Amino acid sequence: MSPPNTIAVALGTRPEIIKLAPIIRLLGDRARVVHTGQHYDESLSKVFFDAFELSEPTHRLEIGGETRATQIGEATTRIGLYLAEQPAAALVAQGDTNTTVGAALAANATGTPLIHIEAGLRSFDRRMPEEHNRVVTDVLSDLCCAPTEVSRQNLLDGGIPAERIAVTGNTVVEAVQTLLPTERGPHLERHAVAPGGYLLATFHRPENVDDPETLGVILRELADLELPTILPMHPRTRARVESFGLGTLLGKLRVIEPVGFQEFLALSAECAALVSDSGGVQEEVSVLKRPVLVVRRSTERPEVIGTFAERVLPGPDIGRIVGGWLADLPALHARLATIPSPYGEGDAAARSVEAINRLLDGGPE
């Protein structure tokens, strides 16, 4: 039986580990980490526990490699069983993954108060599975920790009472501040690039990598960019490149294995620009002061569009926009350096834990 002040923390993917790590560290001995194994590749999981110096998860479920429906069902069932056997004062979930919504359903089924970190994000694109996950989780949550006023308004517009919402900022800020290497030269030397002399790209979303024509267009556009492009290859993307027979399109790209968060931050901080479909990258660049071209139909992070980010669909706009950035790169970098991150100054974990404590103490939000 868990102690009465135990807080279960459910996670299963790289972004969840990164963003929940500052909260887990502040909770200390109160935290019991349940790892679903949604990201089961060690390059997307264990390396981040090591980087944040977190203890091994208290409980592992290993639901990775299954369909979305199976992952959600298994996460709900297994987290529910865990909470029944090891009751917790509350359960914390983050973001919009299958793990997140499974944890939310399990908390609801067991009568465990639910805290949603990074609540209120909306793409308003029902084609995104993540949109359904985050909406369901918000509705079920007893406390929605919204990163910005935009996300708070989304929650209010969706019928979430104001007393269940706390604007906390986003823990990505302190995660980046904590782990960004001060000595970045060795990371650049490892990849034979100079500061500002390369681009960094990441792609993994189904809308981009599950269609051979779309993936081919993206790879061709990256290959034609003026500067060399480093492409850490997500396991999902690598599998699609191989199954679609697109390997020849990688010849002009610097394809590398997924890297640790610290190395990725070092490469991001010193690159000319990024091209990505990652939500986390859109947030990280606001701390690192680098531009990112978001290649997606929609984004749930409008706070950075027009400042640190621009959004396009796969096609020639990739080369056009990045080319425009490169034409006056020093001025662009200088301008971004003056813009504060919309996600706070690095105290989101403390503000989230304070809100959790108020909830559990029965005080007003």
Contact 115, 137 (CB under 8 A): no
Contact (Cβ atoms closer than 8 angstroms) between residue 289 and residue 332: no
CA-to-CA distance for 326 and 316, rounded, in angstroms? 16
CB 296 within 8 A of CB 124: no
Q: 47-81 burial, b for 16+ CB within 10 Å, e for fewer?
A: bbbebbebeebbbebebbebeeeebbbbbbbbbbe
Helix%, strand%, coil% for the chain, nearest 5: 50, 15, 35
Annotated catalytic residue: which of 116, 204, 234, 333? 204
DSSP annotation of 305 reads B
Given the structure tokens 């793409």, which residue do they identify?
123
Write out the two tokens for 338: 């003056």
Distance CA 49, CA 191 (A): 24
Which residues, including other chains, have CB under 8 Å from residue 354's CB and lie 6 or more apart?
A: none
Residues 65 and 55: their CA atoms lie apart, in Å, by 24
Tokens 């990598």 identify what position? Answer: 209
Q: Which of 346, 334, 344, 343 is nearest to 289 (CA)?
A: 334
* 35 in active site: no
Q: What is the Cα gyration radius of the chain?
A: 20
223/98 Cα distance (integer angstroms): 33
DSSP 124: -
Q: Give the side-chain half-sphere CA count within 13 A for 312.
A: 18
- Active-site residues: which are they? 204
